[in-house]
Structure 1
């Protein structure tokens, strides 16, 4: 195969020795199987912003830290330099998250470095040494589904304890290794404490996994792990060793402040429209 230019730079620098084959091409990157000495690894080559189909929506950017004030101002102005900085920040997000989560004991691929915009990391394999299948590609019995669900809920909890929410977790962002599931793909990871959509994303992540695994173990549909861990996180009561029950009782007395604000704004807009209509009618008279 023809070696991509980004990977040729890694060969020239001695980071890797050979590109063996393409592994997958996704919405934000292409992944290749590479050889580094005697080790077989994978290299994730990020696509440029213009090539990516994944839209960098505002909700994913909220709460992310920018390395310097100049960069923050440039990104805010959407200048050419700012767009380059935004692109670099988008790519660095996954690298930083992998190192942080790996250090916290989350089941993610081991990163080996970030070079020339390419992330080199562990190649997750199955028991036979082949590239691991995605969770959405395997059939599980009820016992396996319950076990995988418990492991994945634990990973989501550990991520939340690190202040992070995956943001795009699904059966296709989980690989099945010989020791169980491994979570991958973190470019869209969000700050749990700095993003207003973090709770909704966390619940969506957990619900995506539950919906898939619940096909084999329907009792999982009756669990509420996402809601339970978010409530404990907000209360400052969520720890890596916290035991979750999957039970949750919503506070029906809680006021929906967002709904109240929307109703108030709607009423104000309606009053303004009516006032403008009255003024226009008086001018016509």
Structure 2
């Protein structure tokens, strides 16, 4: 096929030998199957900011930092240079996350580098060499659903332990090869410690995956992994070895109505007393003025 303009520099530099086909085109990027020497890989071409349809990007960028102070100031001001740097940070977020998650034991495509907005990475295939299907295209038994759901919860746990939340995890961002689930699409990865939306995004990720697998194993619908995981995380008790149960008991303290009413009555009495003191003080001032007038 014709070589896309953004991939041409990689061909010129010998990083890519042939573009075989387009695999998909999404809201953030287009993905192509390419040949690099004797190896088949994929090239993810990130779309320019003006062409992306990804919504609420600001919520995902919150907490992302750059070490260079000049770049940071430019990004805050929104200058042309700043927008260019913001794009690089956005694109590199996926590369950084892929390396970090692979080291943490999470199955993700192996990255081979990002070159001017083009990410070269492993093409996930089955044993016959065909591109692995997305989770949403896979049918499975109840037993398989329970097993794969457990694997995914372990991956999310390991991600959180290294401070990363996918942010857009669903059955459309998971591939399934002969060895199980593989998590993909991480340019919107969220910093769990620095992003105010972290808890909400973690819950959405986990519940999306739960709801999909629950189609095949209805008992999964009752699990509470999101609440359990976040509670352990904020207490500093979450580790890669944590044995999750999927259960979460919310500790609710029963309201003491009598005590609340007493506090209200005490506050009302205090306010009435304050007003009475002010009234008496004012009357005292007025009386003093009257006496001075009589004296004159």
TM-score range, shorter-chain basis? Answer: 0.7 to 0.9
Q: CA deviation at 1:56?
A: 4.9
Structure 1 residues 254 and 103: alpha-carbon distance in aligned structure 2, compared to 1, 3 A threshold: farther
TM-superposed deviation, 1:68: 1.3
1:273 is matched with none
Aligned to 1:19: 19
- The two structures, once aligned, show a CA RMSD in angstroms of 1.4
**What SS does structure 2 have at the residue aligned with 1:153?**
helix
* 1:98-109 matches, cutoff 5 A: 98-109=98-109
1:230 aligns to what?
Answer: 230
Deviation at 1:251, TM superposition (A): 2.5
CA–CA separation in structure 2 for the residues paired with 1:59 and 1:173? 19
What SS does the corresponding residue of 2:6 show, helix, strand or coil?
helix
Partner secondary structure for residue 75 of structure 1? helix
Comparing 58-67 with 85-94, greater Cα deviation is found at 58-67
Specify the alignment match of 1:251 in structure 2: 251
Q: CA deviation at 1:45?
A: 0.5
Shift of 1:127: 3.1
State the distance in 1 between where 2:190 and 2:91 align. Answer: 13
Q: Secondary structure at the match of 1:73?
A: helix
2:212 aligned with 1:212, yes or no? yes
Q: For the residues of structure 2 that align with 1:2 and 1:141, how far apart are their CA atoms? A: 42
Distance in structure 2 (CA, Å) of the matches to 1:36 and 1:181: 25
Deviations 1:61-84 (A, max 9, x none): 111112311111111111111111
Task: Mark the CA change 1:105 to 1:217 in structure 2 (over 3 Å): closer, same or farther.
Answer: same
> 5 Å matches for 1:9-158?
9-158=9-158
Structure 1 segments of 4 or more deviating over 3 A? none
Inter-partner Cα distance in structure 1 for 2:198 and 2:134: 25
The whole-number CA distance in structure 1 between the counterparts of 2:91 and 2:159 is 19
Larger Rg: 2
Are 2:165 and 1:165 aligned?
yes
Paired with 2:78 and 2:6, the residues of 1 have a C-alpha distance of 26
Q: In the aligned structure 2, how far is the partner of 1:87 from the partner of 1:220? A: 39
How many Å apart are 1:17 and its aligned residue?
0.9
Q: TM-score scaled by structure 2? A: 0.84
Q: CA deviation at 1:37?
A: 1.1
The structural deviation recorded for 1:36 is 0.8
CA distance in 2, matches of 1:26, 1:183: 16
* Per-residue deviation, 1:195: 0.7
Separation in 2, partners of 1:162, 1:176 = 23
1:161-210 CA-partner distances (Å, limit 9, x unpaired): 01010000000000001100000000111011101110110010000001
Secondary structure of the 1:6 match is coil
TM-score normalized with structure 1 length? 0.87
- Separation in 2, partners of 1:200, 1:253: 24
C-alpha change, 1:254 and 1:209, in structure 2 (3 Å) is farther
User: Unaligned 5+ residue runs, structure 2?
Assistant: 256-296
